[in-house]
């Protein structure tokens, strides 16, 4: 490791510890000496100028908090002595310039994807089975049980084997201690099962708890989200199950589909249980129609497509004090590369953009988008405050333990995922991405809700950074998991795909890591690499109800 500390921005009055530092250590940086007043754990921050009570804490060049007591130079920043604070923002005529990165190495690169008639290109090829209302979830489970294993899309049998071994031990008279100490089968079975339809990556069942019983707005929004998945480039077609009487009517779904794809021509089978009659008739017909749909989906094959057809969702979860220093700026550079190549990226998680709003407002190409972003942020913040849980309560216990002690610190690092390119559109959930470039999408900070939303808006690959480890995936889009530190990658590389701890260790620059990630994305998009979340069938799907979710 080349350095023990890092000053992120020239205007900062705090530094980040890149390794554990002892009380009394003398830190010398750019000719200045700082004597540490406390133990500074790795990922945490310490003051490099004296802070009076109420004094501003600056990191990433922006206000991230205020001191709650006098802090001498070298003091550890904690939730006890620092309180969240962020500057106000407003729409101005100021526009930030952008220096495009050199993309000559990728100018003629392609990925092998599934071309759709509307011009979109998928990185995968799935068939969906969707309920319009939670009342149909059980029917989906029956269809799932009937089709998945028989068609070669089931999970591996490692854990079933463990359960069978424990059953055998119990039948042989084993006691509780024997069971707990048993050495049972533990293997990684990654052999691809024989699939009847080799060009179909899977059948995905999007069970949910909505569609009725809530507000009409919730049901309409759900229809928009489901339409986003049906019209998604990674989807060949869908089977839709409706009870018939729910708020989320099929007619609303059809309207939302046409909003996103006016010439929609994918196979779509819709079954209304109250119209058809018996459960047996519904299930039999649904299985036959789904099988027929799979036959049609199997006719699609991968062909070369330009990188401009990629739409990448940017997500972080289980963040730590290194997130804003390694993985987030690395995928920010990947984002800039893709934008320069004509592709699209989505930056979401609005509660985690608190404190950096002015920068994003100034990056909006259009004043309407700048005003819309300001309005969405203001409304979201007001609703959170009214519910007794403002943006300042966003950091989780895991975030705080690993150095993200205020929402503004967390947000300033999270925003690095969006790189430096101009904002071409501001979207409200669950609107669809229609413009190449950086799109801002209003979603909560909740990992799964936000990832679900990004894919519903068109992301055909998601880059997901984590400093603590999270298994989040998605039913139809590959979620590439990226660790902020090498220790985490070595510990949890069964669920993490890429390590950017190399940046912290000084063996790789942010730009080099961003380039490496783009090459990885191309391989994933082409089907050459199956990410860990896909291997584990980590099909997380949680629609966002427009209540307060941080």
pLDDT computed for residue 190 by the predictor: 47
Give domain limits for the chain: 5-83, 126-156+191-299, 304-535
Q: Is 438 helix (H, G, I), strand (E, B) or coil?
A: strand
> Residue-wise over 194-219: b if at least 16 C-beta within 10 A, else e?
eeebeebbbbbbbbbebbbebeeebb
CA distance readout (Å), 469 to 17, 43, 446, 493, 548: 20, 15, 15, 9, 25
- What is the DSSP-derived secondary structure letter of residue 364? B
The per-residue pLDDT for 84 is: 93
pLDDT at 470: 94
Are 348 and 450 in contact by the 8 Å Cβ rule? The answer is yes
**Spatial strand order in the sheet of 62-67:** 56-59, 62-67, 82-83
Cα–Cα distances in angstroms (integers) from residue 38 to residues 26, 248, 308, 403, 409, in the given order: 11, 57, 50, 15, 20
Protein fold of 5-83:
2.30.130
> What is the C-alpha R_g of the chain?
25
Q: Concatenate the DSSP letters of all residues of 41-66 into one string.
A: -TT-EEESS-B-TTPEEEETTEEEEE
pTM of the predicted model as reported, rounded to 2 decimal places: 0.94
As a whole number of angstroms, the distance between CA 128 and CA 17 comes to: 47
User: How far does Cα 97 stand from its chain's mean position?
Assistant: 28
- Give the rounded distance of the alpha carbon of 391 from its chain centre: 19
Q: Distance between CA 149 and CA 195 in Å, rounded?
A: 9
Q: Are 497 and 462 in contact (CB under 8 A)?
A: no
- From 40, 123, 12, 232, select the one nearest 520 (Cα to Cα): 123
- What per-residue confidence (pLDDT) applies to 188? 53
Half-sphere exposure of 222 (CA within 13 A, CB side): 29
Q: 126-156+191-299 has which CATH code?
A: 3.40.50
Helix (H, G, I), strand (E, B) or coil at 504: helix
**Is 197:236 a contact under the CB 8 Å cutoff?**
no
- Span 473-488, pLDDT tens digits: 999 999 999 999 999 9
Q: Is residue 407 within 8 Å of 391, Cβ to Cβ?
A: yes
Per-residue DSSP letter, 389 = -
Identify the pLDDT of residue 186. 63
Q: How far apart are CA 185 and CA 203, in angstroms?
A: 29
Q: Determine the pLDDT at residue 1.
A: 44
Q: List, for the chain, all residue ranges whose pLDDT scores fall below the cut of 70.
A: 1-2, 156-157, 186-193, 547-550
Q: Is the torsion defined by CA of 257, 539, 156, 179 positive or negative?
A: negative
Give the pairing type, strands 344-347 and 311-316: parallel
Q: Which residues pair with 428 in a beta bridge?
A: 442
């Amino acid at each position: 490791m080349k350095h023990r500390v890092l000053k992120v921005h020239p205007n900062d009055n705090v530094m980040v510890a890149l390794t554990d530092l002892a009380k009394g250590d003398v830190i010398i940086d750019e000719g200045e000496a700082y004597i540490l007043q406390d133990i500074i754990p790795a990922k945490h921050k310490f003051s490099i100028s004296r802070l009076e009570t109420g004094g501003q804490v600056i990191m990433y060049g922006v206000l991230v908090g205020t001191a709650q007591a006098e802090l001498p130079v070298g003091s550890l920043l904690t939730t006890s002595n620092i309180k969240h604070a962020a500057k106000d923002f407003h729409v101005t005529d100021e526009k930030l310039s952008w220096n495009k990165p050199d993309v000559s190495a990728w100018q003629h690169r392609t990925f092998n994807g599934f071309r759709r008639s509307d011009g979109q290109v998928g990185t995968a090829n799935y068939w969906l089975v969707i309920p319009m209302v939670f009342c149909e979830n059980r029917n989906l489970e029956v269809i799932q049980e009937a089709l998945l294993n028989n068609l070669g899309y089931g999970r591996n049998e490692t854990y079933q084997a463990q359960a069978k071994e424990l059953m055998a031990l119990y039948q042989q008279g084993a006691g509780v201690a024997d069971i707990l100490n048993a050495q049972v089968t533990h293997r990684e079975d990654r052999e691809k099962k024989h699939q009847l339809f080799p060009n179909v990556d899977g059948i995905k069942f999007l069970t949910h708890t909505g569609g009725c019983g809530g507000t009409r707005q919730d049901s309409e929004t759900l229809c928009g989200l489901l339409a986003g998945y049906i019209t998604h480039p990674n989807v060949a077609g869908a089977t839709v199950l409706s009870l018939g009487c729910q708020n989320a009517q099929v007619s609303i779904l059809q309207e939302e589909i046409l909003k996103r794809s006016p010439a929609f021509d994918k196979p779509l089978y819709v079954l209304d249980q109250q119209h058809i009659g018996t459960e047996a008739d519904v299930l039999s017909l649904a299985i036959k129609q789904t099988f027929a749909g799979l036959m049609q989906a199997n006719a699609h094959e991968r062909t070369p497509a330009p990188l401009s057809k990629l739409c990448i969702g940017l997500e972080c979860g289980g963040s730590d004090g290194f997130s804003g220093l390694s993985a987030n700026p690395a995928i920010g550079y990947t984002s800039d590369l893709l934008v320069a190549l004509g592709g699209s990226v989505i930056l979401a998680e609005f509660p985690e953009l608190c404190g950096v709003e002015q920068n994003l407002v100034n990056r909006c190409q259009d004043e309407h988008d700048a005003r819309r972003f300001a309005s969405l942020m203001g409304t979201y913040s007001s609703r959170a405050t009214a519910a007794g849980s403002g943006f300042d309560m966003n950091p989780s216990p895991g975030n705080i333990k690993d150095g993200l002690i205020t929402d503004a610190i967390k947000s300033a690092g999270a925003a690095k995922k969006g790189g430096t390119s101009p904002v071409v559109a501001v979207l409200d959930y669950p609107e669809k991405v229609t413009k190449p470039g950086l799109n801002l999408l209003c979603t909560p900070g909740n990992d799964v809700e936000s990832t679900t939303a990004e894919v519903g808006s068109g992301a055909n690959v998601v880059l997901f950074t984590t400093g603590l480890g999270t298994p989040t995936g998605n039913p139809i889009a590959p979620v590439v998991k990226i660790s902020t530190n090498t220790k985490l990658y070595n510990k949890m590389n069964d669920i993490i795909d890429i390590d950017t701890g190399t940046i912290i260790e000084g063996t790789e620059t942010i730009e080099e890591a961003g380039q490496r990630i783009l090459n990885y994305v191309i391989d994933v998009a082409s089907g050459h690499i199956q990410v860990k979340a896909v291997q584990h069938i980590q099909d997380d799907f949680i629609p966002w109800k427009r209540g307060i979710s941080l």
